[in-house]
Chains A and B, each alone.
Chain A
Amino acid sequence: MRWLLIDKFIEIQKGKYAKAIKNITLGEDHLHDHFPTFPIMPNSLIIESLAQTAGVLAGYSKDFKQNVILSKINKAIFYRMALPGDQLILEARMVDLRDEGAWLETTATVDGEILAEASLMFVHWQGELPSGKRLVNFVFNERFMSFFRSNLAQLSAEEKKK
């Protein structure tokens, strides 16, 4: 799926914590422009991969019934560069989850060393769609859900029982 910046979930605990991995590869087209002869993962995409990890955790914690939208990046600090061949370990910790939205702290590490951290706020979009159509689940749509279940998150037996 295009612009899915998570390769796999390692762990996902409803309402609490998620860990995912993203492998950086020269097969990614944008790396050849960022920058020519010096490919590094753009910081904006590092935030996006953290936001996807956190957003899926937030969505999963509400059984994917809400449209989870990234709305505010309270803090984003980058310590090192992310290079092809690196495997980002993306972690998201739930600070608060409520009807209006979710607040999470996220970190990205490579080989045990911290690469970036971000504090993210998501809202549950409950307004009208611009087209005027009835509100549907446009974030966690069917395509995402089937991909999530079969590829992204091979949930442990204990999680499935819940």
Chain B
Amino acid sequence: MADKEKVLQKVQDILTDALGVDEEEVTEHASLVADLGAESIDFLDIVFRLEKTFNIKIPRGDLFPEDLLSDENYVQEGKLTPEGLRVLKEKVPYANLSEFEKNPDVSGLANLFTVGMIASYVTGRLASQAT
């Protein structure tokens, strides 16, 4: 039973703890990396806390597709290739990629990961687990 509001609230609590920021900063549209100062090591911590709080399993690379960045087929000269974009859409279907597609610079990838996007992911996982 995934109530989106409740999920968002819990995700906000988790990110407040994990990233050591003030509650007020963790708005739905806040970017983990750009606004909340998250680093790659925080991603592992966040995945762990999400799994514990929501009792779901998050396979490695499912939420934060790190493998994408190190594959030559997907990233060339700092931008995602069409192939890379396709894989990204598959892995992160709940993210809004329309803006990113116009300039698929790798450095912009991190900005896709917002608080709301994580809440969407969790809501989706909870729903599919319930079925």
A74 within 8 A of B: yes
B52 interface contact, C-beta 8 A: yes
Asked if A101 contacts B18 (CB within 8 A), the reply is no
Chain A residue nearest in CB terms to B20? A74
Whether the pair B41, A72 counts as a contact (CB closer than 8 A) is yes
How far apart are the CA atoms of A146 and B18 in the complex, in Å? 37
B47, closest chain A residue (CB): A100
A71 to B48, CA, bound (A): 14
On whether the beta carbons of B48 and A123 are closer than 8 Å, the reply is no
Closest Cβ of chain A to B29, distance in Å, is 25
Q: Interface 1/0s, chain A 92-120, versus B by CB < 8 A?
A: 00001010110100000000000000000
Decide: A123 and B44 in contact? CB cutoff 8 A: yes
Q: Is B4 an interface residue (CB 8 A)?
A: no
Among B18, B52, B60, point to the contact of A74 (Cβ < 8 A).
B18
Q: DSSP class of B's interface residues: helix, strand, loop or mixed?
A: helix
Total A residues in contact with B, Cβ cutoff 8 Å = 10
A102 CB, nearest partner CB in chain B, Å: 10
Q: How far is the CB of B84 from chain A (nearest CB, A)?
A: 22
A121 at the A/B interface (Cβ < 8 Å)?
A: yes
A123 touches B41 (CB 8 A): yes
Q: In this assembly, does B23 line the interface, its C-beta being within 8 Å of a C-beta of chain A?
A: no
| Residues of B contacting A100 in the complex (Cβ-Cβ under 8 angstroms) | 44, 60
Going nearest first, the 4 A-B pairs with the smallest beta carbon separation are A71-B41, A72-B41, A121-B45, A100-B44
A sample of 21 inter-chain contacts (CB < 8 A) reads A71-B41, A71-B44, A72-B41, A72-B42, A72-B45, A74-B17, A74-B18, A74-B45, A96-B48, A96-B52, A98-B48, A100-B44, A100-B60, A101-B44, A103-B45, A103-B48, A121-B41, A121-B44, A121-B45, A123-B41, A123-B44
